[in-house]
């Protein structure tokens, strides 16, 4: 029978067998549910032979890095190393506008950042001639299917943790959630004692805001999107709708401008798209019918408080035919 307890037990045994008595692993935390649960399960299996690495790629939302450090470490006591790699990702993404290219670059740089962190984090292991051979990933079943790994599946998007991996990967992968759907992962996380702030978190894609800026990713555009996103999330939470909405991507159409008027003057700014969706497993989704007064508050605040944005639009497309993210 499927119970969270059984899954944990089964996976812990499997992980111990794969990694062995002396093997060491690192795990990339994205700040999301999946990687946190994957890390917690591996920590249960091999204890402090696991080191978690949080790569701050600069594509995070407001306060996200601080939140990961606080919530995750507090609940698991896991070893955490924070790699500040904003510069690496921004320069690799400079001039790039194609969505698949962005995803591949971000996937590749994630791995490079881990490789760079490996030496710094585990110099004790290096000193004793040991090697960190295992990389833990929170890959879920839908990621596998949508990246073309499922039977007969088409490649829709290269999820950074599946299709975007470089061919010369030097780690053996540990993927304890590979057969699970999101709701099952949440149940497993709760079973492992992770707090609601982590387990009930809305999904956030590994490539972060990099795939929510339609156009080139720049520091200035990231700043703008972070401000708009923080407002939208704060208002959704204040309205008590966090649990009802599966997730609400906030997207910046950086290459689109429209004319507006503010005060006495003409503006020529960018549109922000709100993409609230309801879903069971992200394989299909419907657009969420958010209350009009909530949408009005979000729109008013974003256009008033975020410089450079003069229009807020609502995405009313289900999946299919739209995907949840715009890229
Ligand atoms: P799409 O846009 O394919 O998204 O409908 C389905 C779900 O997956 C998330 N997503 C990702 N998650 N790495 C991730 O960890 C990725 O590269 C990625 N791309 C999309 C998306 O936010 C939604 O929950």
Atom of ligand 1 nearest to the CA of 34: 15
State residue 169's pLDDT score: 66
Where residue 196 falls among pLDDT bands split at 50, 70, 90? confident
Residue 172 has pLDDT above 50, yes or no: yes
**Are the C-beta atoms of residues 8 and 192 closer than 8 Å to each other?**
yes
Averaged pLDDT for residues 41-57? 93
What atom of ligand 1 comes closest to residue 327's alpha carbon?
2
What is the predicted pLDDT for the residue at 137? 92
Residue 150 pLDDT grade (very low, low, confident, very high; cuts 50, 70, 90): very low
Mean pLDDT of the region 73-94: 93
Confidence of residue 123 (pLDDT cuts 50, 70, 90): low
Residue 104 backbone dihedrals phi, psi, to 5 degrees: -70, -40
- State how far the Cα of 234 lies from the Cα of 306, in Å rounded to an integer: 14
Q: Residue 305 Cα, ligand 1 centroid: separation in angstroms?
A: 28
Residue 270 token pair: 């960018």
Please state, as a whole number, how many other Cβ atoms lie within 10 Å of the Cβ of residue 65.
Answer: 18
Task: Give the model's pLDDT for residue 128.
Answer: 56
CA 229 to CA 152: how far, in whole Å? 36
Specify the ligand 1 atom closest to the Cα of 207. 17
Please state the rounded mean pLDDT for residues 245-257: 98
Of 10, 70, 28, the C-alpha closest to 195 is: 70
Buried b (16+ CB within 10 A) or exposed e, 268-285: ebbbbbbbbbebeebeeb
**Minimum CA distance residue for ligand 1 atom 17:** 159
Contacts for 238 with CB less than 8 Å, ≥ 6 apart:
none
C-alpha distances in Å from residue 160, one per residue of 275, 280, 283: 21, 22, 17
Mutate to test the pocket of ligand 1, among 163, 325, 327 (most ligand atoms within 8 A of CB): 325
Give the distance (Å) from ligand 1 centre to CA of residue 146. 9
For residue 258, what are the β-bridge partners? 269
Ligand 1 atom closest to Cα of residue 249: 22
30 belongs to an annotated ligand binding site? yes
Q: What pLDDT is stored for residue 76 in this prediction?
A: 86
What is d(CA 177, CA 199) in angstroms, rounded to the nearest whole number?
A: 14
ipTM for the whole predicted complex goes beyond 0.95: yes
Tokens of 26: 């690192």
- What's the CA gap between 224 and 103, in Å, rounded? 21
Strands of the chain (E only): list them: 24-29, 50-56, 80-84, 132-136, 172-174, 213-214, 250-253, 258-262, 265-274, 277-278, 286-287, 309-314
Respond yes or no on whether the N-terminal peptide bond of residue 288 is cis (omega within 30° of 0).
Answer: no
- List ligand 1's pocket residues with C-beta within 6 A: 146, 157, 159-161, 203, 205-207, 247, 282, 319, 323-325
What pairs with residue 80 in β-bridges? Answer: 52
Distance 159 CA to ligand 1 centre (A): 7
What integer pLDDT is reported at residue 110 of this predicted model? Answer: 86
Cα–Cα distance measured from residue 272 to residue 227, given in angstroms and rounded to the nearest whole number: 11
Give me the domains of the chain, ranges plus CATH numbers.
4-199 (3.40.50.620), 212-314 (3.30.300.10)
Structural tokens at position 310: 């003069």
CA gap 25, 172 in Å, rounded: 9
């Amino acid at each position: 029978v499927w119970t969270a307890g059984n899954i944990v037990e089964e996976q812990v045994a499997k992980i111990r067998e794969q990694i062995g008595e002396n093997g060491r692993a690192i795990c990339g935390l994205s700040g999301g549910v999946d990687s946190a649960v994957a890390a917690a399960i591996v920590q249960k299996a091999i204890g402090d032979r696991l080191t978690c690495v949080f790569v701050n790629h600069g594509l995070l939302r407001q306060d996200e890095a601080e939140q990961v450090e606080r919530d995750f470490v507090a609940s698991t006591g896991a070893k955490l190393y924070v790699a500040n790699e904003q510069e690496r990702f921004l320069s690799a993404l400079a001039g790039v506008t194609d969505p698949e290219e962005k995803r591949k670059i971000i996937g590749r740089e994630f791995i490079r950042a881990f490789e760079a962190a490996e030496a710094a984090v585990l110099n004790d292991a290096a000193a004793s001639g040991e090697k960190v051979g295992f990389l833990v990933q929170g890959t879920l079943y839908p990621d596998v299917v949508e990246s073309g790994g499922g039977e007969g599946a088409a490649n829709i998007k290269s999820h950074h943790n599946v299709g975007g991996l470089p061919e010369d990967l030097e780690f053996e992968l540990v993927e304890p959630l590979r057969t699970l759907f999101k709701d099952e992962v949440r149940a497993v996380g709760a079973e492992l004692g992770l707090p609601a702030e982590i387990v009930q978190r809305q999904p956030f894609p590994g490539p972060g805001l990099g795939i929510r800026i339609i156009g080139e990713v720049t520091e200035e555009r990231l700043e703008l999107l972070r401000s708009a996103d923080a407002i939208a999330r704060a208002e959704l939470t204040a309205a008590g709708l966090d649990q009802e909405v599966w997730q609400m991507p906030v997207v910046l159409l950086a290459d689109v401008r429209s004319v507006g008027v503010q005060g006495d003057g003409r503006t020529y700014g960018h549109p922000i798209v709100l993409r609230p969706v309801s879903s069971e497993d992200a394989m299909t989704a419907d657009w969420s019918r958010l209350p009009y007064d909530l949408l009005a508050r979000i729109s008013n605040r974003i256009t008033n408080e975020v410089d450079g944005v003069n229009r807020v639009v609502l995405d009313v497309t289900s999946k299919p035919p739209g995907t949840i993210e715009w890229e």
